[in-house]
């Protein structure tokens, strides 16, 4: 790509991303923007100004070397200074001020983009990385804001066409033979520090489900008394299940003749062919044990998603190296729910594993730890400070994840009790 093409690509990505942010923050009134919809989430107006503040810090001040726009508010929008539950009480910018602030920062960032030289010697700019990082950061907060929308009560404000139907439901397991594969990347230009470096991992043979666990399968676990049987739960999982009173995925409602769910303000029957969403790690782990299986490790998940047995290469995505299109995966808030299993045959891996990318984030059994040779870049607060903490990895992105923030190598993480995120899972088992 020429420098001019890179500039145009970045400008288009920044603009496309800001349109999503605008949609999520203009769909509700000022009261909904400034109130807290859950103690787990920031007020939407905090996410909005925080996105602008990160853009100011990295693109305007660091890359551009420009004077600060609003240095006085850095502290308010530093995620490490104030817990989410405390953010509504801060003297935040109001919606009008926040919108003006992010627009002012964007003007300056675009001016920096016009003049910047993408010197391959400057690691922060190589391949446009700093801009890519800021695009991904905003998209990640957009997904967080979408989760806040899901927690908001009241009538629906977001609309999108339903996801595609499945011509053939996908069932069963896929065998992945023993052998090494390359995990992580050195070449993906916008890959974040935790996806690097590429390294070979040797794995034994295993089986992995061809599709994520569906609502129907999960409902069978509930019907079988899975939530009341400590045999299926880890010790921590059972303690949490008891304390939190877990009995079904978040947003499910028991009805006389089945299950309903609340989805972005709509109440509807739970679609049994869709991947289950809004379950925590402990619920995923319990379901897998009940099914006589286990969760895949992070390496197993990535091998299933990227390894091409014909070439021995690791692909960027299950379907190949092309960026995600609408036929490959349910990404980018194009739809406001996961799609039924089998809805994306064009997105399957060479071995026939479906819907690894998009639909639901998939809990894996691994904790969030650095790859061998990891180096924090460009700042330890993105990944490094979370290593060794109480976090489980999630892979593959959800219907609310943008393609810019999703790859075969992309790593997300959260506390094992969290389920307000768009989290589901698929099962695996040893080959015996």
Q: Enumerate the known binding-site residues.
A: 50, 84-87, 137, 141, 414, 418
Main-chain dihedrals φ then ψ at residue 288, nearest 5 degrees: -60, -40
Q: What is the C-alpha to C-alpha distance for residues 160 and 148, in angstroms, rounded to an integer?
A: 17
Stretch that binds ligand AVJ, among 137-145, 271-279, 290-298, 334-342 (CB under 6 A): 137-145
Closest contact distance (angstroms) between CB of 398 and ligand AVJ is 11
Residue nearest ligand AVJ by beta-carbon distance: 140
Considering the complex, what minimum distance in angstroms separates the CB of residue 140 from ligand AVJ? 4
In this structure, are strands 361-367 and 313-314 parallel, antiparallel, or unpaired?
Answer: unpaired
Return the number of the residue (252 or 391) whose C-beta is nearest ligand AVJ: 391
- Kindly tell me which of 9 and 140 has the beta carbon lying closer to ligand AVJ: 140
Q: Strand, coil or helix: what is 223?
A: helix
Q: Is 38 in the site for ligand AVJ (CB under 6 A)?
A: no
Nearer of residues 412 and 423 to ligand AVJ, judged by Cβ: 412
Among 17, 21, 144, 185, binds ligand AVJ (CB under 6 A): 144
From residue 425, how far is each of 58, 115, 286 by CA, in Å? 34, 44, 11
Please say whether the beta carbons of 431 and 204 come within 8 A.
yes
In the shown chain, the binding pattern of residues 384 to 413 toward ligand AVJ, with x for contact by CB under 6 A and - for none, equals ----------------------------xx
Query: Could you tell me where the beta strands, DSSP code E, fall in 274-372?
Result: 307-308, 313-314, 361-367
Closer Cβ to ligand AVJ, 377 or 382, answer by number: 382
Closest distance between ligand AVJ and the C-beta of residue 396, in Å? Answer: 13
SS3 25: helix
Q: Does 148 bind ligand AVJ (CB under 6 A)?
A: no
- Residue with the two structure tokens 């695009």: 135
| Residue 20 contacts ligand AVJ per CB under 6 A | no
Confirm if 208 and 296 have CB atoms less than 8 A apart.
yes
For the window 347-386, what string marks contact with ligand AVJ as x by the rule CB under 6 A? Answer: -----------------------------------x----
Site membership for ligand AVJ, residue 140 (CB under 6 A)? yes
The contacts of residue 65 (CB under 8 Å, 6+ apart) are none
Contacts with ligand AVJ: how many residues (CB under 6 A)? Answer: 6
CB of 381 to ligand AVJ, least distance (A): 8
Question: For the purposes of burial, counting CB atoms within 10 Å of the CB of 290, is it exposed (0-12), middle (13-18) or buried (19 or more)?
Answer: middle
Q: Are 389 and 368 in contact (CB under 8 A)?
A: yes
- 87 forms part of the interface with ligand AVJ (CB under 6 A): no
Give yes or no for a contact between 349 and 356, defined as CB atoms under 8 angstroms apart: yes
Give least dist CB 137 to ligand AVJ, A. Answer: 6
Angle of helix 95-115 relative to helix 3-26, nearest 10 degrees, comes to 170
Task: Give the interface segment with ligand AVJ, choosing from 111-119, 136-144, 215-223, 332-340 (CB under 6 A).
Answer: 136-144
- Residue nearer to ligand AVJ on the CB measure, 137 or 354: 137
Which two structure tokens, joined as six digits, stand for 407?
A: 């790859």
Cis peptide before 197 (omega within 30 of 0): yes
The contact set with ligand AVJ (CB under 6 A) reads 137, 140, 144, 382, 412-413
């Amino acid at each position: 790509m020429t420098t001019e093409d890179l500039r145009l690509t970045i400008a288009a990505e920044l603009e496309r991303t800001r349109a999503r942010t605008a949609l999520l923050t203009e769909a509700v009134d000022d009261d909904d923007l400034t109130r807290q919809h859950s103690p787990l989430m920031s007020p939407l107006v905090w996410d909005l100004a925080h996105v602008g503040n990160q853009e100011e810090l990295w693109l305007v001040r660091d890359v551009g070397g420009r004077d600060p726009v609003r240095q006085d508010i850095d502290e308010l929008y530093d995620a490490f200074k104030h817990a989410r539950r405390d953010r509504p009480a801060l003297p935040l910018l109001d919606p009008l001020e926040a919108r003006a602030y992010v627009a002012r920062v964007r003007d300056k960032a675009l001016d920096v983009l016009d003049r910047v030289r993408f010197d391959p010697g400057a690691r922060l700019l190589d391949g446009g990385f700093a801009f890519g990082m800021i695009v991904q950061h905003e998209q990640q907060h957009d997904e967080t804001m979408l989760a806040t929308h899901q927690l908001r009560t009241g009538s629906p404000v977001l609309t999108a066409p339903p996801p595609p139907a499945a011509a053939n439901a996908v069932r069963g397991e896929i065998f992945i033979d023993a052998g090494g594969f390359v995990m992580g990347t050195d070449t993906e230009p916008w890959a974040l520090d935790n996806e690097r470096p590429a390294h070979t991992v040797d794995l034994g043979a295993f089986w992995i489900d061809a599709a994520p666990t569906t609502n129907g399968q999960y409902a069978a676990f509930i019907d079988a008394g899975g939530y009341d049987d400590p045999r299926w739960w880890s010790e921590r999982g059972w303690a949490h299940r008891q304390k939190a009173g877990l009995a079904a995925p978040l947003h499910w409602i028991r009805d006389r003749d089945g299950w309903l769910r609340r989805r972005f303000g709509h109440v509807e029957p739970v679609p049994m062919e869709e991947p289950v969403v809004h379950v925590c790690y402990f619920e995923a782990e319990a379901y897998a044990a009940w099914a006589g299986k286990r969760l895949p490790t992070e390496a197993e998940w990535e091998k299933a998603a990227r390894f091409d047995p014909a070439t021995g290469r690791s692909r960027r995505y299950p379907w190949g190296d092309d960026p995600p299109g609408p036929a490959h995966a349910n990404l980018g808030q194009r739809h406001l729910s996961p799609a039924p299993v089998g809805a994306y045959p064009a997105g399957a891996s060479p071995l026939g594993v479906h819907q690894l990318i998009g639909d639901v984030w998939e809990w894996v059994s691994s904790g969030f730890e650095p790859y061998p040779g990891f180096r924090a870049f460009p700042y330890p607060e993105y990944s490094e400070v979370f290593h060794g903490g109480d976090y489980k990895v999630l892979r593959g992105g959800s219907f609310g994840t943008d393609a810019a923030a999703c790859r075969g190598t992309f790593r997300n993480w959260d506390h094992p009790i969290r389920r307000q995120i768009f989290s589901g899972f698929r099962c695996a088992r040893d080959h015996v």
